Structure 1
Amino acid sequence: MYWSSEVSFDKGMQNERRIDFVGFKPYTPDMVTDFNSVELGRFECYEVKSCMADFKSGNGLTFYGDKNYLVTTKEFGQELYEKMIIPWQVDQVLVPDKNWSKLYTQREGTGTHRQRVSSEFLWEIAKAHE
């Protein structure tokens, strides 16, 4: 999987959005890369939120991918669930384990389909490395 942080979409426009982390995994059946590998690949978007002020700040909460994850603390994830304000585009709410060494699923969401084409995603991932 290829990764980039702070990936922007519609840069310089009024509706510019930035995603904390974006991952891309090419589609490689039988470990073969061909012309379908990009178009059929999977884009994953990860938004990290630490508290309600961060959640409601207007920054982030951009879920354009094939899979969309909200990463937060266990306690804040529970608060979002109880207040029923987890965005509908979220596939999973992920929280760290006790050692903060890996993430696990706290809640399953409804999810959505990719909002942007593969070429735009890859271009924005590449630009984020400039």
Structure 2
Amino acid sequence: MSDRKEITKILSLSIKMHENPRNDPRIYWAREVTFDYATANAVRVDFMKFIPKNNSVSGIEKGDFYCYEVKSSAEDFHSKNGHNFFGDLNYYVMTEKVYEQVKDEIPYKVGVYVPDGMNYQGEWYNLKCVKKAKRQDRKRPVSEILLMMFRSAARDNLK
């Protein structure tokens, strides 16, 4: 993997396939989830997933949000963009080479996934967790995060 754009593309496909390999509609998932849309403070999370405890009102309120930020290079990691973690559990997705370069700079509570060989079809990487995320307190309400995810998923369905 050498081209940054290609690395981003394959890592993005890899995290999508890792979290929802069969495109199961019961897995609540969205890409490029934007918060504070149409403001000077707009930020985007590369991928988000939501797992409710169950389908009751309290089960939804107690559900967990996972955020994934794809980093294709050390320069990408050091840029001010793409460190947007709004979830209960937050992860970077990067190559092992990038991980080795930046591992001492990764916040304590943020986890990391890296490639672990090509999948059997040779289209994306299987991923392994080399640093497990620690639970964090969310800074946004469930309703806002779900709305932002819903808006992003609806955008993708129109394409």
Q: Same fold, TM exceeding 0.5?
A: yes
TM-score (norm 2): 0.71
TM-score (norm 1): 0.86
4+ residue segments displaced more than 4 Å? none
Structure 2: which amino acid aligns with 1:44?
Y
Secondary structure in 1 matching 2:39 = coil
| Alpha-carbon separation, structure 2, partners of 1:125 and 1:14 | 20
Change (3 A) 1:77 1:111: farther
Name the residue aligned to 1:124.
148
CA contact 1:88–1:111 (8 Å) conserved in 2: no
Percent identity, aligned pairs only, is 38
CA contact 1:77–1:106 (8 Å) conserved in 2: no
Give the gaps of 5 or more residues in structure 1: none
| Alpha-carbon separation, structure 1, partners of 2:92 and 2:129 | 10
CA contact 1:74–1:106 (8 Å) conserved in 2: no
Structure richer in helix, relative to its length:
2
Give the gaps of 5 or more residues in structure 2: 1-26, 119-123
| Alpha-carbon separation, structure 2, partners of 1:44 and 1:110 | 11
1:87 equivalent in alignment to 2:107: yes
Output the aligned Cα RMSD: 1.5
Shift, 1:111, TM fit: 4.9
Q: Residue by residue, what CA displacement relative to the aligned partner does 1:41-77 show, whole Å, maximum 9, x if unpaired?
A: 1100000001022112222111110100010001111
Change (3 A) 1:111 1:52: farther
Name the residue aligned to 1:43.
65
